[in-house]
A and B are shown apart, each in its own frame.
Chain A
Amino acid sequence: MSEIIQLKNVSRTFEVKRQIIKAVDDVSLGIQEGEVVCLVGESGCGKTTTGKMIAGMLSPSSGSIYFRGKDISTLSKDEFKQYRLGVQMIHQDPYASLNPAQTIYDIIATPLQHHGFTRGEAQTRARVRELLQTVDLTPPDDFLEKYPHQLSGGQRQRVSIARALTVNPSFIIADEAVSMVDVSIRISLLNTLTRLKDQMGLAVLFITHDLALAKYFAWEGRIGVMYLGRMVEISPARQLVERPQHPYTQVLLSAIPEADPDATRRKTRIELRSMDVPSLLRLPSGCAFHPRCPVFLGQKCETIVPRLIPQKDGGAVACHLVGEEKI
């Protein structure tokens, strides 16, 4: 399998009030065709910025992004269009991402016609109906003439998915795509995404703050954990949740409450050394997690930024404690 998207030492800075903040710092990541990768982390860790750079909505400040082996900054006009069509994004808020003045038919037909995927009214209508069926909005005729406000949050998010599929993408970025959807119907939305991924061979980058959800969705794929702009651990999903290596991943997992009163009250907690989240404007030296890390080693952690080192078990960890010699 070849890599559809590859990030090589990608960083992105923003200027806020004449100060530079590093939203994403030296992230390298390859995603295979048809693979599922979940990015998790707390707010401000750079997961959305990473997603936007992959989608071509933001350019990296340094480093390069490759689409099917080609650096996206050197693509020709035609190739660039292929890349932008090939990588589609589903946004978090289905109430804000659909035009309230357009019917569902218009929302889905516009990209089809604009990019020449269908010709003529009859063909377009047939394709729109087909797409609505693909995302389980059935019967499609009930939805064609409706406006977004007449649909529930879950249905709107399905319309967003159908819209992303209009241009036959091979890579979908879903940024917190189910966090605003009712709890009782999240799973069915995720199952629809999984089915589409399997049927169409899509690669998916799923951005979320919910590790339990990430484990469910990325069952066969990988989960990457970000902290203050850096990837601290990336491993096969179940392995990451069951045997986390990086202290930050361990702390996160021990902090999550479980929907089971016995399990959650018996869980051993790992205490942080400090509750304060450092500001992106004044990142700690060395490993950015060192002021809070429960297994802080001393000088090495304060001065040297740990690199993301591949491990024998298929994961990769950026921590001095996990060591370099393991492989």
Chain B
Amino acid sequence: MSDSTLSVRNLTIEYTAKRGNVQAIRNVSFDVQRGEALALIGESGSGKTTLGLGIVQLLPTAAQIRNGQVTYRRFGKNGQAAEVDALGLTGNALRQFRWRDCAMVFQGAQNAFNPVLRIADHFADTAKAHGAMSGKTLEERGKHLLTQVRLDAERVWRAYPHELSGGMRQRVLIALALLLEPQLIILDEPTTALDILTQRNIMDVLKDLRSQLDFSLVFISHDLSLAAELADRVATVYAGKIVELASVQIIFKAPVHPYTIGLINAVPTLAGDKGDLTSIPGSPPDLIDLPSGCKFHPRCPLADEKCKREEPELVEVGEQRGGKGGHQVACWHWQNARQTQKAFGVKA
């Protein structure tokens, strides 16, 4: 039996639009292990958010899941897992899956609190909708969680959302997501639109929680440094597809997909030298009218005829690189990665 909390297989999601179908997620497969933090990194419009919404079945009506399975494993006290087909759930079962098994914190949700309800009422609403605790038990649990996210529980419990800053509201949301002890939490851009010091605080809170509680984390972000800070494994997403998936060390220190290499070289760091940076030429593709073959080929310095014709699938390359398994890449020319660094104009 697999030890992963979540297994996504061949997931394909499309949006119907006037100009044609938006291929937001194309044949994506990955696992999230128990207790691990997986970062999905990509630029805007690469399909990261759609992937998150697909897992909890909260896609807008214009979206259809064309293909694929999402399997969630509910681990019991004895270590035995019950498999749940997350895409097949309906009605009450779906409602219980969301939040009890898998909670999601949406992008910008710190601005989506009900302004006339106190924080305590938000906790009570959630608990009631899921038939969970109430009264004193709820208050104790709620305040305990607020303390865990480094908030002044007594004050925040009675507060209205407008009395809290953006960073505090984001922490309340994280506490709220943990209310029903889910095994999986999906965070969509958890630190975007927050100031540096607030971001730092959220990151520290998430690190704390992970060391104290047992849950898996999937976070979606365009911010590479957030992944470097928090993730165990990182998946780079380009044009609706995972193009490279490996441990955080490999992704940042020895990536082999030209897009991952290009992306890392495009982000300035505080310690970095000016000459180390280069942009990826061109711009991200139109998801309605995707290029043929490998979707990155129009921007890739290694592209040849094969890249224009055939799209590479994600394959395991870890052992071939002389390491353990667990490094997957979708590129015909991954072995020439160092050459890519030179082609982007960067010292290898």
Contacts and interface: CB of A to CB of B under 8 A. Distances in A.
Contact of B252 (A154, A219, A252, A261): A261
Contacts of A186: 266, 279
Nearest to B165: A277
B270 A253 contact: yes
21 contacts: A42-B196, A152-B284, A182-B43, A183-B267, A184-B262, A185-B279, A186-B279, A210-B268, A211-B196, A213-B268, A255-B196, A255-B199, A256-B225, A256-B270, A257-B226, A259-B228, A259-B269, A261-B249, A261-B253, A264-B228, A272-B197
Given A155-B283, A183-B263, A269 B200 contact: yes
B196 A260 contact: no
Interface of A: 42-43, 152, 154-155, 182-189, 191, 209-213, 215-216, 219, 241, 251-253, 255-265, 269, 272, 275-277
Nearest to B46: A182
B300 to A, nearest CB: 12
Interface string B194-229: 011111110100000000000000000011111011
B228 A257 contact: yes
A81 to B, nearest CB: 37
Interface string B246-283: 00110011000000001110111111101001111101
B197 A212 contact: no
A216 B274 contact: yes
Interface of B: 43-44, 150, 165, 167, 195-201, 203, 222-226, 228-229, 248-249, 252-253, 262-264, 266-272, 274, 277-281, 283-284
B248 A261 contact: yes
List 5 A-B pairs, minimum CB-CB distance, nearest first.
A188-B279, A255-B200, A257-B225, A42-B195, A184-B280
Contacts of B278: 187
B225 A276 contact: no
Nearest to B281: A188
A104 B90 CA distance: 49
A154 B45 CA distance: 14
Contacts of A252: 196-197
Given A186-B279, A212-B268, A255-B200, A260 B165 contact: no
Nearest to B270: A212
Contacts of B248: 261
Given A184-B263, A188-B279, A260-B252, A265 B229 contact: yes
Nearest to A180: B44
A155 B286 CA distance: 14
A219 B276 CA distance: 13
Contact of A43 (B195, B252, B267): B195
B182 to A, nearest CB: 25
A62 to B, nearest CB: 28
B266 to A, nearest CB: 5
Nearest to B43: A182
Contacts of B150: 275
A248 to B, nearest CB: 9
Given A186-B279, A259-B252, A276-B165, A42 B229 contact: no
Contacts of B225: 256-259, 264
Nearest to A276: B165
Contacts of B201: 275
A209 B266 contact: no
B195 to A, nearest CB: 4
A258 B195 contact: no
A182 B196 CA distance: 20
A257 B269 CA distance: 9
Given A269-B200, A276-B165, A259 B267 contact: yes
A258 B200 contact: no
Contacts of B197: 42, 251-252, 255, 272, 275, 277
Given A216-B274, A255-B196, A182 B283 contact: yes
A259 B284 contact: no
Given A252-B197, A255-B197, A255-B199, A216 B228 contact: no
A216 B268 contact: yes
Contacts of A260: 228, 252, 269, 271
A215 B165 contact: no
B283 A257 contact: no
Given A185-B283, A210-B268, A257-B200, 9 more contacts: A183-B222, A183-B266, A184-B279, A188-B281, A189-B279, A212-B267, A212-B269, A252-B197, A261-B252
Nearest to B229: A257
For B263, B267, B272, the residue with the greatest tally of chain A CB atoms inside 10 Å of its CB is B267
A193 to B, nearest CB: 13
Contacts of B269: 212, 258-260, 263
A261 B195 CA distance: 21
Nearest to A248: B197
A263 B271 contact: yes
B61 to A, nearest CB: 24
A292 to B, nearest CB: 9
Contacts of A256: 196, 200, 225, 270
